[in-house]
Each structure stands twice: as C-alpha cells, then as structure tokens.
Amino acid sequence: MGKGRGKKVPRSSDLNITSMMDMFTIILVFLLKSFSAEGSILTNADNLVLPNSESKKKPQEVNLQVAVTNDMILVDNLPIVPTEDVRKIPADDPDPSAAKLEEKLRACMAQEEEMVRVGALNAVQGKVIVQVDKNIDFDVLFKVMNTCGKVGYNNMNFAVMEREE
C-alpha cells in the first residue's frame, strides 16, 4: 500500500494542460478572425464618437487626418484651433475659412508638394480623412470642408463606424 502511494505522487504532479490548450485554440481562432494586417490607421481622439454607417469601404493610407471634436480641431493629432472659434465665423460668410487651420493645412500641402518634387510621391493627391464627432452641427463641418477644399485637399473621406450586424 505504502509503495503504491509513493508511485502515484510523482505522476499526479504533472499539470493537465489539455483544457488550457482547448481554450487557447478557441481564443486563437477568434483573434485570427479579427486580425487586421493594416493596423488601424485612424487614431481616436478623446470625446470623438464617429457616426454609425453601413459603408464597408476600408480606409486607405493617407498623409493627412483632420479630426473635429466638440471642443478642438486636430490635424494629425495636434490640436490646432478650438471648435468654438470656428463656430464664431459668421454663418453668412460666403467663403468661410478658419485661419489657423488653413495655415496648418497649407504647410501640409507644401510638404506634400516637396515630396513630389523630391520624388517620394508621384503626384499631389490632396487626400484627407476627416473624422467628425457625430454630434457636430453641419455649420462647423461645412466650414472645415470649405477650408480643406480651399487649400487643395479635394479628395475627402469621412470616417465612420461600421454598423455591427
């Protein structure tokens, strides 16, 4: 009897990892499902909630991001101008433009043109991804879009959240 117990003790010291392996395999499958090779190009700013949409179009790599939150307008994640200042631009201005934003965008445009000159880019694309908080009024959106268009960023993409099925 005593001999038998002595033999059993070393055997039961093995950890039974079969169930853990099962778990890992399932986790692995789920993670592979949501795997994205591109990584997220868009970075979320604080208090920026994108609207839900049925669009399935994937965002492409772009050089410039403009984010409009309730209190700040950001270009490439750098705060540029308070949204309140943009709201203050008179609504009946036929060509509204946020001066600081325009200045920053012109600098980005100049950089893009420089890259074309050096040969790093083929042509000036004028592409911009605009991330707008879903509670922003159209007034601000229009002024920001007008400013982008004025500088030469004509190719706009609005970032949205894909609706869950």
Residues found near another protein in the complex (CB under 8 A): 11, 14, 17, 20-21, 24, 27-28, 31-32, 34-37, 39-40, 42, 47, 49-60, 70, 91-92, 94-95, 129, 132-139, 141-142, 145-146, 149, 154, 156-162
Phi then psi for residue 89, to 5 deg, are: -60, 130
CB of 116 to another protein, least distance (A): 21
Instruction: Tell whether the torsion through CA atoms of 84, 88, 92 and 98 is positive or negative.
Output: negative
Cβ(83)–Cβ(70) under 8 Å? yes
Neighbours of 73 (CB within 10 A): 24
DSSP 8-state assignment for residue 110: H
Q: Which is nearer to another protein, 17 or 114 (CB)?
A: 17
Q: Quick one: which of 61, 81, 71 has its CA closest to 128?
A: 61
Q: Which is nearer to another protein, 28 or 110 (CB)?
A: 28
Q: Which is nearer to another protein, 120 or 138 (CB)?
A: 138
- Cα–Cα distances (Å) from 96 to 7, 10, 30, 124, 151, in that order, read 86, 80, 48, 24, 13
CB of 118 to another protein, least distance (A): 28
Q: Which is nearer to another protein, 5 or 117 (CB)?
A: 5
Cα distance between residue 154 and residue 126, in whole Å: 6
CB of 68 to another protein, least distance (A): 9
Q: Which is nearer to another protein, 108 or 159 (CB)?
A: 159
CB of 78 to another protein, least distance (A): 20
CB of 114 to another protein, least distance (A): 24
